[in-house]
Structure 1
Amino acid sequence: MNNQRTMSLAKLLREFAPVEQLQTPGHSWDTEAAWLKTNHPRRLARVRRSIERLGIEDPIQLCYGHPDCGTERHVVDGHHRIVIARDLGIKRLPVGDAWAPGADWFMGASDQLGDDPEEATP
């Protein structure tokens, strides 16, 4: 996280909702964690091993003050990392503005490990 903007996990969880809340009002971090643990257990395990070994490498991408977000504050990339950080007791996470000029996180957003066969469609 050298020269990387960080935010406390407590503030992130308090002030930023999962982006899914736009379609499903009330979708909380507890709801997100349960959904990820049910639907992406292998990916969570792989990302957790990576974080335990290397720390959180890619910043959590936040949406705020942008026309796509309006006045809402959402996490648009990094849900797996946030859930794992919460489980591991990590206090600070690297963060970035998802829509800052030159931001290219969406070009290869991967939650640290790339594509997951768990999500592949046959």
Structure 2
Amino acid sequence: MSSAAFYGLANILRFNGSLHDTFYVCVEEQLAIFLYMLGHKAKNRVCDIEFIRSGETISRYFNKVLGATCSIQERFVKQPGSETPMEIRNAAEWFPYFEDCIGMIDGTHIQATLLASIVARFRGKNK
């Protein structure tokens, strides 16, 4: 993330997302903790070493930024329409498979944990 994008997001969260500087932690550091945890899949213990804060402080500010981010989602996230595009609806080879689909996740990988009894069904299904 560029510094301009980071500071822009920090300002949006400060003015529209009800995120405020505290006596010890500014909005930018709160956002840095949040993005570090998300971007590096870091545990709380790693972040309290990186940011020289207690685990409780890391957890508190992660949750504050998460709440602020959720409060501004309507500004940036638009739900897909419920209409199926005509090129899919008119194609007999596609429509039965896409009939009840709402949207699509373009190349996004979502980590999931499965029961041991069904893991074999999904092995190699990363596309």
TM-score band by shorter chain is under 0.3
- TM-score normalized by structure 2? 0.23
Task: Please tell me whether Structure 1 or Structure 2 has the larger radius of gyration of its CA atoms.
Answer: 2
